[in-house]
Amino acid sequence: MAGDFVDVLIVGAGLSGIGAAAHLQRLCPERSVAILEARETLGGTWDLFRYPGVRSDSDMHTLGYSFRPWTEARSIADGRSILEYLQATARETGVDRLIHYRHRVRSASWSSDAARWTVEAERESGERVVFECAFLLVCSGYYDYAEGYTPGFPGLERYCGRVVHPQHWTDDIDHAGKRVVVIGSGATAVTLVPELARTAAQVTMLQRSPSYVLSLPTVDPIARWLQRFAGHRAAHAVTRWKNVLISVGLFKLCRRRPDFAKATLLKLVRQQLGPAYDVETHFTPSYNPWEQRLCFVPDGDLFKAIRSGRASVVTDTIESFTETGLRLASGAVLPADLVVTATGLKLKLVGGLEMSVDGRKLAPAELVNYKGVLFAGVPNFASVFGYTNASWTLKADLAATFVCRLLNHMKQTGARQCVPRVDDADMALQPWVDFSSGYFQRAIDQLPKQGTKKPWKLNHNYLADLVTLRFGAVDDGVMRFS
Ligand SMILES: Cc1cc2nc3c(=O)[nH]c(=O)nc-3n(C[C@H](O)[C@H](O)[C@H](O)COP(=O)(O)OP(=O)(O)OC[C@H]3O[C@@H](n4cnc5c(N)ncnc54)[C@H](O)[C@@H]3O)c2cc1C
């Protein structure tokens, strides 16, 4: 394959890369497309994570693609079903035949003279292979596959039990009949706790600070009714819109009326756990709703596990690991046979690629967002980064179809290069995300920036992005074609 040329080269065969290739095939059928994937299989996140109970916390009508209905009764799905959905999508659209597995992309350099990217990938054997493309579309997700984030816990080396990060869960980890401590309070922790509690002797969720947790029905009765009477395609489209409007509305409500949103979320938790439970300590975060990702639990499974006594929540700080468990700042001791560090991910953007434009190296932190898809001064390049406040796929679908519109415009006008340019050199730049979540804050210095006005400011809103990316002019005066 050395030196092969394709019109569009996609990095990553996860949900975003498969979706982007399918959109390209549909909307730009004359363009050749290839996908380079570092792993030996497709699916990304939904293949990598194997911990018990791994599932979506968004509904599958918005986490699924716009073009392929989610037909199952459950709208919150387990990881395996999501992987099967991605595999079936790749198979049915023929995208599976475009994937070159075991190709880790290392670098990409753009030449304005040739109007091409030269992309270097490494095979498993260590052999380097070069591809060339007219447009580079990075769909590499947002975190490091090699390792998750684990803070330095004092005394960890002393502990004699097993410690596992959910990103590295393997089948031989046996939790049945064991005392398990899950460290963390995010989406992964709230997923793991009720699942482990089914067979463990006791599960403790140990958190330094709480998250907002909201129960959602696994089966959406409206979607179910529509599936039965309107058929899968119509049911998917209507349910997707319903859920988009609900999620946009909920996010706006949380941001505009935080006190009301907070009171409502805590009232719902109290209804689940009863008046005797200390909701103030264990389920009342110090921040306002949606300043960090809201945690959803299907059919209140976490609350059921707590009510049954099989799981409990401890809000405290780890002073030190001991040989047999953990000692906490309050003086309490938690015995543990197994410790699961659901302490988060390490952010890694743009697949860790070394990038250059006409010989000038680019660092992710100096990139300035354009419409949430491209970057100022980087020609024929886009990267897909989904929503943090709604389903990832809503943005991934919009980003991919915007790239298709861009490519079609270039075809019509004979342009070979497109590049967004910032005219206002004095425009203030801001962090890329305004989430206070740990994994963003830890990596804030490495993240691209956004501007303070359109089209440099991120919308974080599907409806606003729909207007910009689906219906807005491609030739908007900011994007330069040549
Ligand atoms: C446990 C978990 C649960 C989640 N649940 C939800 C949810 O319910 N709803 C939601 O909206 N989001 C959720 N997310 C976010 C989730 O990552 C996205 O929904 C979605 O799967 C991202 O797809 P992606 O293709 O962009 O990235 P990924 O799934 O991360 O796939 C990226 C692919 O790119 C490949 N790759 C990376 N770098 C390179 C390189 N240099 N060269 C070649 N290949 C490369 C990787 O091997 C991988 O296959 C969850 C994330 C996790 C970790």
In tens digits, what is the pLDDT along the chain, a chain of 482 residues? 446 899 999 999 999 999 999 999 999 999 999 999 999 999 999 999 999 999 999 999 999 999 999 999 899 999 999 999 999 999 999 999 999 999 999 999 999 999 999 999 999 889 999 999 999 999 999 999 999 999 999 999 999 999 999 999 999 999 999 999 999 999 999 999 999 999 999 999 999 999 999 999 999 999 999 999 999 999 999 999 999 999 999 999 999 999 999 999 999 999 999 999 999 999 999 999 998 889 999 999 999 999 999 999 999 999 999 999 999 999 999 999 999 999 999 999 898 999 999 999 999 888 999 999 999 999 999 999 999 889 999 999 999 999 999 999 999 999 999 999 998 888 999 888 766 667 677 777 888 999 999 999 999 899 999 999 999 999 999 999 99
Look at residue 446 in the predicted model and tell me its pLDDT: 82
What integer pLDDT is reported at residue 4 of this predicted model? 87
| Cβ-Cβ contacts under 8 Å for 309 (sequence gap 6 or more) | none
Question: Is ligand 1 within 6 A of the CB of residue 236?
Answer: no
Ordered alpha helix ranges (H), 94-231: 187-197, 221-230
The CA 15 to ligand 1 mean position distance, Å, reads 7
Q: Which of 392, 395, 397, 435 has the most ligand 1 atoms within 8 A of CB, as the residue to mutate?
A: 392
Atom of ligand 1 minimally distant from the CA of 384: 26
Angle between helices 258-273 and 301-308 (to 10 degrees): 40
Classified as helix, coil or strand, 216 is strand
Tokens for 51? 């911990």
Which CATH number characterizes residue 314's domain?
3.50.50.60
The pLDDT value given to residue 434 = 67
Q: Final residue of a domain: which of 341, 356, 388?
A: 341
Q: Are residues 181 and 304 in the same domain?
A: yes
- DSSP letter assigned to residue 255: H
Domain-located, residue 261: yes
The residue nearest atom 3 of ligand 1, judged by CA position, is 56
Same domain? 261 vs 396: no
Task: State how far the Cα of 433 lies from the Cα of 482, in Å rounded to an integer.
Answer: 32
Structure-block tokens of residue 240? 């997707």
CA 6 – ligand 1 centroid, Å:
24
Q: Is 75 in the pocket of ligand 1 (CB under 6 A)?
A: no
Cβ 16 under 6 angstroms from ligand 1: yes
Q: Which two tokens stand for residue 154?
A: 């004092």
Ligand 1 atom with the shortest distance to the CA of 39: 47
Verify that 211 and 334 share a domain, yes or no: yes
Which phi and psi angles does 47 have, rounded to 5°?
-105, -35
Q: Are residues 73 and 135 in the same domain?
A: yes
| Strand, helix or coil for residue 55 | strand
Instruction: Give the count of domains, the chain.
Output: 2
- Distance, CA 44 to ligand 1 centroid (Å)? 5
Q: Is residue 239 classed as helix, strand or coil in its secondary structure?
A: helix
Q: Which residue is it, tokens 């293949």? A: 47
* C-alpha to C-alpha distance for 323 and 158, rounded to whole angstroms: 5
Q: Which of 18, 46, 58, 15 has the alpha carbon at shortest distance from 251?
A: 58
| H-assigned helices in 212-282 | 221-230, 232-256, 258-273, 279-282
CB proximity list for 375: less than 8 A, separation 6 or greater: 367, 368, 369, 381, 383, 420, 448
Is residue 85 in contact with ligand 1, taking CB distance under 6 Å?
no
Angstrom distance (rounded) from CA 259 to CA 278: 20
Residue 333, phi then psi, degrees to nearest 5: -125, 135
Report the alpha-carbon distance of residue 87 to residue 67 in Å, rounded.
Answer: 15
Which residue's alpha carbon is at the smallest distance from atom 2 of ligand 1?
A: 45
Same domain, 36 and 133: yes
Check: CB of residue 345 under 8 Å from CB of residue 148: yes
Q: Which of 313, 341, 369 is the last residue of a domain?
A: 341
Give the integer Cα–Cα distance in Å for 234 and 149: 41
- CA 276 to centroid of ligand 1, rounded, Å: 40
Angle, helices 232-256/258-273, rounded to nearest 10 degrees = 110
Asked whether residue 66 falls in the same domain as residue 80, the answer is: yes
104, β-bridge pairs: 122
Buried b (16+ CB within 10 A) or exposed e, 258-280: eeebbeebbebbeebbeeebebe
Residue 197 lies in a domain: yes
Q: Are 216 and 307 members of one domain?
A: yes
15 lines ligand 1 (CB under 6 A): yes
Which tokens belong to 58?
């968004």
**Identity at 58, one-letter amino acid code:** S
Instruction: Report the 10 Å Cβ neighbour count for 447.
Output: 18
Q: End of a domain among 314, 341, 368?
A: 341
Task: Indicate whether residue 56 lines ligand 1 (CB < 6 A).
Answer: yes
H or E element, residue 18: helix 15-27
Look at residue 151 and tell me if it is in a domain: no
Pair 130, 176 in one domain: no
Q: 423: CA distance to ligand 1 center in Å?
A: 34
Q: How far apart are CA 320 and CA 201, in angstroms?
A: 23
Residue 66 belongs to a domain: yes
Which residue CA neighbors atom 39 of ligand 1 most closely? 351
Q: 333 and 393 share a domain?
A: no
Per the listing, tokens 């349910």 go with 239
Same domain, yes or no: 139 and 200 = no
Q: Which residues contact 108 (CB under 8 A, 6 or more apart)?
A: 117, 118, 119, 120, 136, 353, 354, 355, 356, 381
Residue 323 forms part of a structural domain: yes
What is the full DSSP assignment across 365-416?
GG-BEETTTEETT-TTEEE----SSS-HHHHHHHHHHHHHHHHHHHHHHT--
Residue in the block written with tokens 């209140």:
300
Residue having the nearest C-alpha atom to atom 49 of ligand 1 = 44
Domain that holds residue 387: 4-146+346-481
**β-bridge partners, 313:** 205
Same domain, 309 and 356: no
In angstroms, the CA 383 to CA 386 distance is: 10
| Residue 44 contacts residue 12 (beta carbons within 8 Å) | yes
Cis, peptide link before residue 285, omega less than 30° from 0: no
Same domain, 92 and 172: no
